[in-house]
Amino acid sequence: MPKLSTICLFLLCLSGRISAQQQQPSEDDTRAMIKANFLYQFASSNEWPADSKKGKFTIGIYGNSSLYEQLASRYGSKPVGSQTLEIVELKEVTDDRVFHIIYVDRSKKNEMPEVIQKIKGKSTLIITHFDGALALGSAINFREVNSNIRYELNKKAADDRRINLGTKILQWAVVQ
């Protein structure tokens, strides 16, 4: 009963087209995304002295383009209190411009003493991400804790610059 043509059809059997493709992992810099948000939290949850509450709220990023891009693209035009946020990528830290926050990347670790010197007497919150940064004058230093990004504090460094760290910022800091 089965004809030869039918048999040939059967022989083609199970030539299904089912196949899967490969996905690609996203190349977003996840650490920069998290750190950018932390920087925004530090900007909006801490208290700067009254004379720093005029004009724009400025954050300088010294040595991490990826973080600068994240911060600028996601938070660049957002308000901090009554001020407008301005993000600047710094090629160098000079004393002719005042920043509310300067982030010093680990790639600029060796320039930390110079940065501290340039901001002397100014209400600038120094935020860093390298071991031993608090001892060099940083007020907030990012740390890896169980693969998470957290931060440690040097409250005295903030107090000396007349910056009041917010309750939530104090609450989530890890013990040194």
175 interacts with other proteins by CB under 8 A: no
Minimum distance of other proteins from residue 141's CB (angstroms): 13
- Touching other proteins, residues 81-100 (CB under 8 A): none
Q: Considering only residues 84, 86, 88, 106, which one is a binding residue for other proteins as defined by CB under 8 A?
A: 106
**Minimum distance, C-beta of residue 85 to other proteins, in the bound complex (Å):** 9
Stretch in the footprint of other proteins (CB under 8 A) among 26-34, 52-60, 90-98, 119-127: 26-34
| Rounded Cα distance, 124 and 108, in Å | 17
Assess 21 for contact with other proteins (CB under 8 A): yes
- Min dist CB 12 to other proteins, Å, is 8
In angstroms, the CA 115 to CA 86 distance is 20
Please choose, from the candidates 116, 139, 118, the residue with its C-alpha nearest in 3D space to the C-alpha of residue 129: 139
The nearer residue to other proteins, 10 or 98, going by C-beta atoms, is: 10
Residue 41 interacts with other proteins (CB under 8 A): yes or no: yes
Number of residues in contact with other proteins, rule: CB under 8 A? 57
Distance CA 173, CA 46 (A): 13
CB of 144 to other proteins, least distance (A): 4
